[in-house]
Structure 1
């Protein structure tokens, strides 16, 4: 019966990140620096809030868009941290992680024949959702532009079919972000076009040298912009699966319909935990960010000592490392696994524009990073 399934679904492949992780996961003595998941425990006060929600029997359906108190907390949080103004009553939707926010956005705005511009390399979760919505992904090579999708590159690639531009910053896999000036130029370029901006800002709390700027602050593109955020990375709550979507009422009233038929509402217990995180845990990300910054600096220093070229991340917790040979990224990554018992994600998992690179995640404690980089150094010396 497989041949009767949806052709687009049958043509999809498992994420290259997960594919490689599963490939090496059963091998003994492998030190893996592959998965982008915080190694910190969810803060104790957030877990306690989840327990209290259970004890208080908060186990029923919530409003489709999420608890109003949580939406108010989200509205206050983004206003305080990013100077964004979104009404909790009708411009905020609480989602099952950032991934679901991306999915319902793309299904709401895309139609067959539309094109979506993506920076390459990029997180592999966007293309399948674009194709499932009947649209076509269009990658722009950012390798010679500091891995940034800027207005100059967009100018050359915008067409009458461009329905959406995806801005993912700080970036997975490079950690590179966009400055306020670069975002201003993009806003000026896209303003007034029949084109949406989907800004995936899930790593916004994890930036180092400068605070994150959201493209949502530019009024000229507010009606065209949808912003994806969440608590997985900022508060180490990956398993709670709480994200949120910010957009004007005129858009959200339609996205909410897709969301309603998709999941009804996010898990009630997770919503109460998220409420605690955003009201009493505003400083929780700072501790993690400081640790990530220390790890980033250590990783970059070690790679430099090995004469390995790497992209210096502005945020998130990844380093994109150039392969020092002419091998394909998958082949080099498998040699690392077999000969050094060390796993990085091959760069081609992030589109063809990631070929020739590896992604190293430094969401691991320092002793693990030290051992991993020691193995890499020994491998290169051999």
Structure 2
């Protein structure tokens, strides 16, 4: 037993472990998400008078584009990532302002946070604001660290906190409380990585909690969602309908589920089965085994991100990797917690898994960042360089065999 544990520990501590966990975990989550989007969205599409594969096809296109973005981000040098920080943040702010312009902004489920691009395509700028805050915040803190300014509390907070609050204000103008929660988590993740004093951290947290309480108290819809925590009955006006039917879906899945495509709740009982509550359909069709697999993949991504952030000597890489990890894990916790009835329904998708191109594209670019950072670790780079000759010899051997077969092939006139 001890020998097996030691062997597993050595494999876990290898230089390329984080690289393989990020790459493999993200690809498996995206692939399984495509399968579940195909299964969970068919009834929704047919009820809307659309082809049964409508949502799946759109998600497949988004996944293909996201894979290209992930590949590009994984090959970009750190300097180029830092150069993208300010333009991406500025573009996010501009688009968030456009959302509030009549005729350009588009409301979905009561939230004014979309831009209609034409036809069936829409853009949600708040999803790109997460990536913009991570890159800009990491670059800002890294530059201040190089100038030894982070020993002063005002340089820890300004302009990071004011800019983050500006983004939060623009997002909350559209009523998107869920995305605001994730953006707040990213902000506190950056402050935590920065090593902010406990008093400063607690003060900022208290201000954010007070603002959140006031925003929830001022909205009957948000108060109703808060009242559905742990609900087992839809209530007199069915205000807890979605929360309760999410629990019904999970409860009917058992150990191994009812089978792929055999969900009952997606037949109009469960709202948003392919977006916010896709985890409930996964539990119903794939059972506890399927949901635990999804949780394990997110746990692997979280561990790999923490490992990349903890082992690097580059401040920008540490802040960016920590910010991305906070973003993905916090959003997964908020989404899954809402489906389980442990948290209020916030209306955020499950990263890499739920339907939605606006959410998938920046998330896959962020995964590309983690892959690039994992590859940039000196030990990982050395391990990859050692493997290059092996693959080179394999390609050379295949090339020699191909040339030998061509040489042994008789001329066309003698056949």
TM-score (normalised: structure 2):
0.30
More strand by share: 1
More helix by share: 2
